[in-house]
Structure 1
Amino acid sequence: MVGKTNLGVALVTGASSGIGQAAAERLADAGYTVFGTSRRAAYTGQRSFEMLTLDVTSDESVAAVVNEVIRRAGRIDLLVNNAGFGVAPAGAEESSIEQARSIFDTNFFGVVRMTRAVVPYMRHQGSGRIVNIGSVLGFLPMPYGALYAATKHAIEGYSESLDHELRTWGIRVSVIEPAYTKTPFDANFLEPDAKLDAYREARAVVSNRVNEVMATAAEPRVVADVVLKAAVAARPRLRYTAGALAGRLQLLRRFMPAGLVDAALRKDLRLGMIPSPRSGKPVLQK
């Protein structure tokens, strides 16, 4: 176990609750000086880390927070990009272009903004770690979650390229891939803004299944432990799954024939229970 030593300065986005809060607390307990961020006004209650107000969709807000951390701490050794949101289970065409842009602006371009603001300081230091919170949906997309999965795929590709580029300056990049996790994030999905009656049955079936699985989902601390592992590893890996389910899904994706993975995913989500638009009877959708 990592001792209570000075491990440097960490900046964690989306740290007001859920995975971000758990990660910030775990890092602070391990010995990091942690600055957490949230879009809302900084929380003033008792925490093991300080909160700053940040909107990752704003260039000005990102620059102001990074400059504030540098002014007060002199450096940033670890950036944890966690801020993000999802759309409730729905067909891909049930979100407008504006909503699609919105989720990418936070989930992906928020990561890009934060990275661009922090990397110059890490290059000057000659060291640093960037840990991006991805998802198993970044390598195994689920039906009726297309936009969220797309943002997580984007993070996967961006992170891998970035890791190649930055290791020359002693900076490494890792992606954490959790499965279902008990967080307020899941309780506050954004509703699709262009709902169609054609997807009503599918939305209900998939939403019910997701709610069932969430009842036994992993706690945020499971992900937080993996964030710390990636942050302090002497030879960090590019990808880390978080939790038993995520590990199993990674193995299935890697070694199981694609057709069997596809069938298993659809069976688990109970897509065969959705009535056919032609007959009105449930059919097994292959």
Structure 2
Amino acid sequence: MPEQKVVVVTGASSGIGAASARLLAQNGYQVFGGARDSRRANPIPGVKFGTVDVTDEQSVAKFVEWVLSEAGRIDVLINNAGVSLLGPIENTAIPEAALVFDTNVFGPLRMIRAVLPSMRAARSGLIINVSSVLGFLPAPFMGIYASSKHALEGLSESLDHEIREFNVRVVLLEPTFTNTKLDLNAAHTEAPLGVYTAQVEATIEAVQDQIKSAPSPQIVAEKIRAVIESPYRLRQPVGGQATLLSRLRRFMPAGAVDRSLRKTFGFSKNRSS
């Protein structure tokens, strides 16, 4: 019988992270879940929780050392922890933007730096970075979040070139809107909306409508399991809509993509293109 694979999931206390940790544990993986406060995480059978704040170097180092002391190795790292931010780019304070990048870009970087030495030594490993369709598509009033996912995609592609000779690969998981607290309870920029008020409200309404009918985190969890167990491919859109958007981005004329996005995000037809 093959040895259990050891999987680390950040942001494992809710949403995609919790669904993924649960599904992988149910299917024979040895799962370690990271949460900012592991004492408040709801228990998941077969999942060992530890405390990790991906914005804190020492917290990341202690968490990874704990997993290695418990399991001896890490076969799969799932960088799932993330935050979102809604609001006009003009109104976004630098500290607000920095918080998003510290979690969504530098958080995965800290985790990657912590786990790579053991993966390289074992000459085996898989790093799954949870991106988004907004990692390859623009999104009005989600510019900082989209920028962080664009950055994560660039980091992931570069990293995969650097580490594949050690038999360690990187996967970009690209879900569309998912029915999670992250999407429903996204933080908003603090500055008054001013001239952007009407359009921001229309966009938020359009986004909330999509989230309410969006797939559950279970769909993403099932994709993560498939990624681990299937032949390697760098980009992994999640579900039919994300796959379609990925293809449209590559093959559809830019003007048509632009019009479609504006319609999706609630921009009225009589506004300038």
TM-score by length of structure 1 reads: 0.92
Find 1:112's aligned residue among 106, 109, 113. 109
**Amino acid in structure 1 at the alignment position of 2:262:** R
How far did residue 5 of structure 1 move? Answer: 5.7
Give, in whole Å, the separation in 1 of the partners of 2:99 and 2:113: 20
| Change beyond 3 A, Cα 1:206–1:44 | closer
How far did residue 31 of structure 1 move? Answer: 1.7
Matched with 2:79 is 81
Indicate if the aligned counterparts of 2:13 and 2:42 stay in contact, CA closer than 8 A: no
How far did residue 187 of structure 1 move? Answer: 2.3
Give, in whole Å, the separation in 2 of the partners of 1:45 and 1:22: 12
Q: Secondary structure at the match of 1:144?
A: coil
Find 2:68's aligned residue among 60, 67, 70. 70
Find 1:261's aligned residue among 242, 257, 266. 257
Could you give the per-residue CA deviations for residues 77-105 of structure 1, whole angstroms, max 9, x where no partner exists?
A: 000000001012x2112210001111000
How far did residue 46 of structure 1 move? Answer: 4.5
How far did residue 186 of structure 1 move? Answer: 1.4
Matched with 2:200 is 203
Matched with 1:158 is 155
Q: CA RMSD in A?
A: 1.4
Gaps of 5+ in 2: none
Could you give the per-residue CA deviations for residues 183-233 of structure 1, whole angstroms, max 9, x where no partner exists?
A: 111122112122331111111000000111112101111111111122222
**Amino acid in structure 1 at the alignment position of 2:47:** F
Give, in whole Å, the separation in 2 of the partners of 1:204 and 1:178: 24
**Amino acid in structure 2 at the alignment position of 1:265:** L
Q: Does 2:229 align with 1:232?
A: yes
Indicate if the aligned counterparts of 1:5 and 1:30 stay in contact, CA closer than 8 A: no
- Considering only CA atoms, is the larger Rg found in Structure 1 or Structure 2? 1
Q: Secondary structure at the match of 1:266?
A: helix
Give, in whole Å, the separation in 2 of the partners of 1:99 and 1:268: 25
Gaps of 5+ in 1: 274-282
Q: Secondary structure at the match of 1:51?
A: strand
**Amino acid in structure 2 at the alignment position of 1:254:** R
Number of residue pairs the alignment of both structures matches: 272
Matched with 1:22 is 19
Matched with 1:58 is 56
| Change beyond 3 A, Cα 1:259–1:193 | same
Give, in whole Å, the separation in 1 of the partners of 2:148 and 2:123: 29
Could you give the per-residue CA deviations for residues 214-266 of structure 1, whole angstroms, max 9, x where no partner exists?
A: 12101111111111122222x31000000121111112111110011001111
Give, in whole Å, the separation in 2 of the partners of 1:220 and 1:46: 15
Report the more deviating stretch, 45-54 or 203-212.
Answer: 45-54
Q: Does 2:232 align with 1:245?
A: no
Indicate if the aligned counterparts of 1:91 and 1:199 stay in contact, CA closer than 8 A: yes
Give, in whole Å, the separation in 2 of the partners of 1:14 and 1:168: 29
Q: Does 2:190 align with 1:193?
A: yes
Query: Alignment identity in percent?
Result: 43
Alignment of 1:100-179 (within 5 A): 100-179=97-176
Q: Secondary structure at the match of 1:181?
A: coil
Give, in whole Å, the separation in 2 of the partners of 1:46 and 1:71: 21
